[in-house]
Amino acid sequence: MTLTKTLPNWTEPMFDEAEDIHPLFAGAPATTEFRKLRKRIVRYTREAIEQYGMIERDRADGTRPKWLVCLSGGKDSYTLLAVLHELQWRGLLPVDLLACNLDQGQPGFPATVLPEFLQKMGVPHRIEYQDTYSIVVDKVPQGRTFCALCSRLRRGNLYRIAREEGCSAVVLGHHRDDILETFFMNLFHGGRLATMPPKLVNEEGDLFVYRPLAHVAEADCEKFARAMNYPIIPCDLCGSQDGLQRQQVKQILDGWEKNSPGRRQVMFRALMNARPSHLLDPKLFDFAGLERRLGADPADLPADQGEVPILR
Protein backbone atom coordinates (compact mmCIF):
# COMPACT_ATOMS: atom_id res chain seq x y z
CA MET A 1 0.00 0.00 0.00
CA THR A 2 1.42 3.37 -0.94
CA LEU A 3 1.84 6.24 1.45
CA THR A 4 -0.65 8.43 -0.40
CA LYS A 5 -3.37 5.85 0.26
CA THR A 6 -2.77 5.72 4.01
CA LEU A 7 -2.26 9.42 4.71
CA PRO A 8 -4.35 12.53 3.94
CA ASN A 9 -4.11 14.11 0.53
CA TRP A 10 -1.10 16.44 0.62
CA THR A 11 -2.47 18.49 -2.29
CA GLU A 12 -5.26 19.89 -0.12
CA PRO A 13 -5.17 23.69 0.40
CA MET A 14 -3.27 24.92 3.44
CA PHE A 15 -5.27 27.31 5.60
CA ASP A 16 -3.53 29.42 8.20
CA GLU A 17 -6.10 30.10 10.90
CA ALA A 18 -4.43 31.03 14.17
CA GLU A 19 -5.27 27.65 15.71
CA ASP A 20 -4.17 25.70 12.63
CA ILE A 21 -0.61 26.76 11.89
CA HIS A 22 2.77 25.72 13.16
CA PRO A 23 4.74 28.57 14.77
CA LEU A 24 7.40 28.20 12.06
CA PHE A 25 4.81 29.57 9.60
CA ALA A 26 3.47 32.34 11.80
CA GLY A 27 3.57 35.62 9.93
CA ALA A 28 3.86 33.97 6.52
CA PRO A 29 3.18 36.41 3.67
CA ALA A 30 -0.41 36.26 2.46
CA THR A 31 0.50 36.88 -1.17
CA THR A 32 -0.54 34.50 -3.90
CA GLU A 33 3.08 34.21 -5.01
CA PHE A 34 4.24 33.04 -1.59
CA ARG A 35 1.35 30.60 -1.22
CA LYS A 36 2.30 29.01 -4.54
CA LEU A 37 5.95 28.87 -3.50
CA ARG A 38 5.12 27.26 -0.17
CA LYS A 39 2.76 24.74 -1.73
CA ARG A 40 5.37 23.84 -4.38
CA ILE A 41 8.09 23.22 -1.78
CA VAL A 42 5.77 21.12 0.38
CA ARG A 43 4.62 19.10 -2.64
CA TYR A 44 8.13 18.43 -3.92
CA THR A 45 9.32 17.44 -0.46
CA ARG A 46 6.36 15.14 0.04
CA GLU A 47 6.99 13.54 -3.35
CA ALA A 48 10.65 12.86 -2.52
CA ILE A 49 9.77 11.34 0.86
CA GLU A 50 7.31 9.00 -0.83
CA GLN A 51 9.30 8.26 -3.99
CA TYR A 52 12.46 7.25 -2.13
CA GLY A 53 10.74 5.43 0.73
CA MET A 54 11.89 7.59 3.61
CA ILE A 55 9.12 6.51 5.97
CA GLU A 56 9.90 3.33 7.90
CA ARG A 57 6.89 1.04 8.08
CA ASP A 58 6.02 -1.78 10.44
CA ARG A 59 8.69 -1.09 13.06
CA ALA A 60 9.19 -4.12 15.27
CA ASP A 61 8.74 -2.20 18.53
CA GLY A 62 5.69 -0.29 17.32
CA THR A 63 7.32 3.12 17.89
CA ARG A 64 7.43 6.07 15.51
CA PRO A 65 10.67 6.75 13.64
CA LYS A 66 12.70 9.68 14.91
CA TRP A 67 14.68 11.93 12.58
CA LEU A 68 17.64 14.15 13.45
CA VAL A 69 17.05 17.27 11.34
CA CYS A 70 20.39 19.01 10.82
CA LEU A 71 20.14 22.78 11.11
CA SER A 72 23.09 24.94 10.06
CA GLY A 73 21.24 28.24 10.11
CA GLY A 74 21.39 28.59 6.32
CA LYS A 75 18.41 29.11 4.02
CA ASP A 76 18.26 25.45 3.01
CA SER A 77 18.15 24.00 6.51
CA TYR A 78 15.52 26.53 7.62
CA THR A 79 13.39 25.53 4.66
CA LEU A 80 13.89 21.85 5.50
CA LEU A 81 12.93 22.39 9.14
CA ALA A 82 9.81 24.36 8.26
CA VAL A 83 8.47 22.01 5.60
CA LEU A 84 9.03 18.88 7.70
CA HIS A 85 7.17 20.45 10.61
CA GLU A 86 4.44 21.56 8.20
CA LEU A 87 3.99 17.96 7.05
CA GLN A 88 4.14 16.61 10.60
CA TRP A 89 1.73 19.30 11.84
CA ARG A 90 -0.85 18.23 9.27
CA GLY A 91 -0.48 14.52 9.94
CA LEU A 92 1.38 13.81 6.72
CA LEU A 93 4.70 12.81 8.24
CA PRO A 94 4.35 10.17 11.00
CA VAL A 95 7.79 10.67 12.53
CA ASP A 96 9.24 12.54 15.51
CA LEU A 97 11.61 15.40 14.65
CA LEU A 98 14.62 16.61 16.61
CA ALA A 99 16.41 19.67 15.25
CA CYS A 100 20.15 19.68 15.80
CA ASN A 101 22.77 22.37 15.32
CA LEU A 102 26.45 21.48 15.52
CA ASP A 103 28.40 24.55 16.60
CA GLN A 104 31.83 23.84 15.09
CA GLY A 105 33.64 26.68 16.78
CA GLN A 106 34.02 29.05 13.83
CA PRO A 107 35.20 32.48 15.01
CA GLY A 108 32.33 34.89 15.27
CA PHE A 109 29.61 32.22 15.03
CA PRO A 110 26.45 33.69 16.65
CA ALA A 111 25.89 30.85 19.11
CA THR A 112 22.67 32.24 20.60
CA VAL A 113 20.71 32.73 17.37
CA LEU A 114 19.56 29.17 16.74
CA PRO A 115 18.80 28.18 20.37
CA GLU A 116 16.67 31.30 20.80
CA PHE A 117 14.90 30.76 17.48
CA LEU A 118 14.14 27.09 18.16
CA GLN A 119 12.96 27.83 21.68
CA LYS A 120 10.64 30.55 20.38
CA MET A 121 9.25 28.23 17.70
CA GLY A 122 8.66 25.42 20.19
CA VAL A 123 10.84 23.05 18.16
CA PRO A 124 12.48 20.15 20.05
CA HIS A 125 16.20 20.57 19.57
CA ARG A 126 19.74 19.81 20.67
CA ILE A 127 22.67 22.21 20.36
CA GLU A 128 26.07 20.51 20.32
CA TYR A 129 29.43 22.26 20.57
CA GLN A 130 32.46 20.55 19.00
CA ASP A 131 35.49 22.62 17.97
CA THR A 132 36.16 21.00 14.60
CA TYR A 133 37.21 24.38 13.20
CA SER A 134 40.57 24.27 14.96
CA ILE A 135 41.18 20.74 13.69
CA VAL A 136 40.38 21.72 10.10
CA VAL A 137 42.59 24.81 10.17
CA ASP A 138 45.43 22.79 11.70
CA LYS A 139 45.23 19.82 9.32
CA VAL A 140 44.45 21.44 5.96
CA PRO A 141 47.50 22.85 4.13
CA GLN A 142 47.59 26.54 3.27
CA GLY A 143 45.64 27.27 0.09
CA ARG A 144 43.57 24.07 0.17
CA THR A 145 39.81 24.08 0.78
CA PHE A 146 38.36 23.07 4.11
CA CYS A 147 35.16 21.47 2.83
CA ALA A 148 36.13 17.78 2.67
CA LEU A 149 37.60 17.47 6.17
CA CYS A 150 35.00 19.79 7.68
CA SER A 151 32.22 17.66 6.19
CA ARG A 152 33.69 14.39 7.49
CA LEU A 153 34.10 15.73 11.02
CA ARG A 154 30.62 17.22 11.00
CA ARG A 155 29.04 14.04 9.69
CA GLY A 156 30.80 11.89 12.30
CA ASN A 157 29.46 14.05 15.11
CA LEU A 158 25.95 14.07 13.67
CA TYR A 159 25.95 10.27 13.45
CA ARG A 160 27.03 10.09 17.08
CA ILE A 161 24.29 12.49 18.17
CA ALA A 162 21.67 10.58 16.17
CA ARG A 163 22.62 7.36 17.98
CA GLU A 164 22.56 9.06 21.38
CA GLU A 165 19.08 10.46 20.68
CA GLY A 166 17.66 7.18 19.35
CA CYS A 167 17.19 8.53 15.82
CA SER A 168 17.03 6.21 12.83
CA ALA A 169 17.87 8.88 10.25
CA VAL A 170 20.03 11.95 9.80
CA VAL A 171 18.16 14.46 7.61
CA LEU A 172 20.08 17.00 5.54
CA GLY A 173 19.01 20.14 3.66
CA HIS A 174 20.68 19.47 0.32
CA HIS A 175 18.46 20.59 -2.56
CA ARG A 176 18.23 19.93 -6.30
CA ASP A 177 21.05 22.31 -7.19
CA ASP A 178 23.41 20.76 -4.63
CA ILE A 179 22.75 17.38 -6.21
CA LEU A 180 23.40 18.70 -9.72
CA GLU A 181 26.58 20.50 -8.69
CA THR A 182 27.89 17.35 -6.98
CA PHE A 183 27.19 15.34 -10.12
CA PHE A 184 29.25 17.70 -12.26
CA MET A 185 32.03 17.93 -9.67
CA ASN A 186 32.31 14.13 -9.77
CA LEU A 187 32.16 14.23 -13.57
CA PHE A 188 34.78 16.95 -14.02
CA HIS A 189 37.11 16.17 -11.13
CA GLY A 190 36.32 12.66 -9.87
CA GLY A 191 35.98 10.73 -13.11
CA ARG A 192 32.73 9.08 -12.09
CA LEU A 193 28.97 9.42 -12.58
CA ALA A 194 27.70 9.91 -9.03
CA THR A 195 25.97 12.47 -6.86
CA MET A 196 24.24 12.88 -3.50
CA PRO A 197 21.43 10.30 -3.34
CA PRO A 198 18.15 11.28 -1.68
CA LYS A 199 18.44 8.22 0.57
CA LEU A 200 21.37 6.08 1.66
CA VAL A 201 22.61 4.02 4.59
CA ASN A 202 25.78 5.09 6.39
CA GLU A 203 28.92 2.95 6.26
CA GLU A 204 28.21 1.46 9.68
CA GLY A 205 24.79 0.38 8.42
CA ASP A 206 22.81 1.68 11.41
CA LEU A 207 21.51 5.04 10.15
CA PHE A 208 19.66 6.34 7.12
CA VAL A 209 20.70 9.63 5.54
CA TYR A 210 17.79 11.48 3.91
CA ARG A 211 17.63 14.53 1.65
CA PRO A 212 13.91 15.41 1.44
CA LEU A 213 14.59 18.65 -0.49
CA ALA A 214 16.12 16.67 -3.37
CA HIS A 215 13.50 17.95 -5.84
CA VAL A 216 13.43 21.55 -4.54
CA ALA A 217 15.31 24.31 -6.39
CA GLU A 218 17.83 26.42 -4.48
CA ALA A 219 16.09 29.57 -5.67
CA ASP A 220 12.88 28.44 -4.00
CA CYS A 221 14.70 27.81 -0.70
CA GLU A 222 16.19 31.30 -0.95
CA LYS A 223 12.84 32.96 -1.64
CA PHE A 224 11.10 31.00 1.11
CA ALA A 225 13.63 31.63 3.89
CA ARG A 226 13.90 35.31 3.02
CA ALA A 227 10.13 35.76 2.88
CA MET A 228 9.79 34.12 6.30
CA ASN A 229 12.56 36.36 7.66
CA TYR A 230 14.37 33.47 9.31
CA PRO A 231 17.66 34.52 11.01
CA ILE A 232 20.07 33.20 8.36
CA ILE A 233 23.66 32.51 9.44
CA PRO A 234 26.32 32.49 6.68
CA CYS A 235 29.01 29.81 6.60
CA ASP A 236 32.16 31.89 7.02
CA LEU A 237 34.41 28.84 7.19
CA CYS A 238 33.74 27.67 3.63
CA GLY A 239 32.22 30.78 2.12
CA SER A 240 35.33 32.84 2.79
CA GLN A 241 37.44 30.77 0.38
CA ASP A 242 37.61 31.76 -3.28
CA GLY A 243 37.93 29.43 -6.25
CA LEU A 244 36.12 26.45 -4.79
CA GLN A 245 35.28 23.75 -7.32
CA ARG A 246 31.63 23.92 -6.33
CA GLN A 247 31.50 27.65 -7.02
CA GLN A 248 33.04 27.10 -10.42
CA VAL A 249 30.46 24.44 -11.26
CA LYS A 250 27.67 26.70 -9.99
CA GLN A 251 28.84 29.45 -12.33
CA ILE A 252 28.79 27.03 -15.27
CA LEU A 253 25.25 25.91 -14.42
CA ASP A 254 24.14 29.52 -13.96
CA GLY A 255 25.42 30.31 -17.44
CA TRP A 256 23.59 27.36 -18.97
CA GLU A 257 20.40 28.29 -17.13
CA LYS A 258 20.64 31.90 -18.31
CA ASN A 259 21.07 30.87 -21.94
CA SER A 260 18.44 28.13 -21.75
CA PRO A 261 15.93 28.60 -18.91
CA GLY A 262 14.84 25.29 -17.42
CA ARG A 263 18.14 23.54 -18.23
CA ARG A 264 18.76 22.65 -14.57
CA GLN A 265 15.46 20.80 -14.31
CA VAL A 266 16.11 18.91 -17.55
CA MET A 267 19.51 17.79 -16.27
CA PHE A 268 18.01 16.81 -12.93
CA ARG A 269 15.41 14.65 -14.66
CA ALA A 270 18.25 12.95 -16.52
CA LEU A 271 19.65 11.75 -13.17
CA MET A 272 16.33 9.97 -12.64
CA ASN A 273 16.41 8.37 -16.09
CA ALA A 274 19.69 6.46 -16.34
CA ARG A 275 20.19 3.94 -19.17
CA PRO A 276 22.98 1.51 -18.13
CA SER A 277 22.94 -0.13 -21.58
CA HIS A 278 23.88 3.22 -23.11
CA LEU A 279 26.75 4.04 -20.80
CA LEU A 280 30.14 2.33 -20.59
CA ASP A 281 30.25 0.61 -17.21
CA PRO A 282 30.45 -3.20 -17.60
CA LYS A 283 29.61 -3.58 -13.91
CA LEU A 284 26.17 -2.12 -14.57
CA PHE A 285 25.45 -3.80 -17.90
CA ASP A 286 26.64 -7.14 -19.28
CA PHE A 287 28.11 -5.95 -22.57
CA ALA A 288 30.22 -9.12 -22.93
CA GLY A 289 27.13 -11.29 -22.62
CA LEU A 290 25.05 -9.30 -25.06
CA GLU A 291 23.93 -11.51 -27.96
CA ARG A 292 22.08 -11.08 -31.19
CA ARG A 293 18.61 -12.57 -31.25
CA LEU A 294 17.83 -12.94 -34.91
CA GLY A 295 14.12 -13.10 -35.58
CA ALA A 296 13.21 -12.67 -31.93
CA ASP A 297 10.14 -10.70 -30.93
CA PRO A 298 11.32 -7.57 -29.06
CA ALA A 299 8.52 -8.16 -26.56
CA ASP A 300 10.19 -11.44 -25.54
CA LEU A 301 13.59 -9.86 -24.86
CA PRO A 302 14.78 -8.92 -21.36
CA ALA A 303 13.87 -5.40 -20.34
CA ASP A 304 17.37 -4.07 -20.93
CA GLN A 305 17.63 -5.66 -24.38
CA GLY A 306 14.20 -4.83 -25.76
CA GLU A 307 13.25 -1.47 -27.14
CA VAL A 308 16.39 0.63 -27.60
CA PRO A 309 15.86 4.33 -26.91
CA ILE A 310 16.76 6.69 -29.69
CA LEU A 311 19.90 8.66 -28.88
CA ARG A 312 20.56 12.02 -30.44
Predicted local confidence at residue 22, as pLDDT: 84
Predicted local confidence at residue 8, as pLDDT: 43
Burial class of residue 136 in the structure, from the number of CB atoms within 10 Å of its CB (0-12 exposed, 13-18 middle, 19+ buried): buried
> What is the identity of the amino acid at 167?
C
Predicted local confidence at residue 257, as pLDDT: 95
Integer Cα distance of 218 and 220 in angstroms: 5
Predicted local confidence at residue 310, as pLDDT: 53
Closest CA to 175 of 268, 94, 65: 268
Predicted local confidence at residue 298, as pLDDT: 66
Closest CA to 216 of 158, 264, 182: 264
Q: What is the pLDDT along the chain (312 residues), one digit of tens a residue?
A: 334 334 444 444 444 554 567 889 888 999 999 999 999 999 999 999 999 999 987 677 778 999 999 999 999 999 999 999 999 998 999 999 999 999 888 888 888 999 999 999 999 999 999 988 888 888 888 767 777 788 888 999 999 999 999 999 999 999 999 999 999 999 998 999 999 999 999 999 999 999 999 999 999 999 999 999 999 987 655 544 544 788 889 999 999 999 999 999 999 999 999 999 999 999 999 999 998 887 767 666 666 554 555 554
Predicted local confidence at residue 144, as pLDDT: 73
Predicted local confidence at residue 60, as pLDDT: 76
Predicted local confidence at residue 259, as pLDDT: 96
Closest CA to 112 of 231, 226, 239: 231
> What is the identity of the amino acid at 142?
Q
Residue 141 and residue 167 in contact, taking contact as beta carbons nearer than 8 Å? no
Domain ranges of the chain: 25-57+65-239
Residue 272 and residue 183 in contact, taking contact as beta carbons nearer than 8 Å? no
Angle of CA points 42, 228, 237, to nearest 5°? 95
SS3 219: helix
Predicted local confidence at residue 305, as pLDDT: 54
Q: Rounded to two decimals, what is the model's pTM? A: 0.85
Residue 35 neighbours by CB under 8 Å, 6+ apart: 14
Q: Taking the CA atoms of the chain, what radius of gyration do you get in angstroms?
A: 22
Determine the CATH number of domain 25-57+65-239: 3.40.50.620
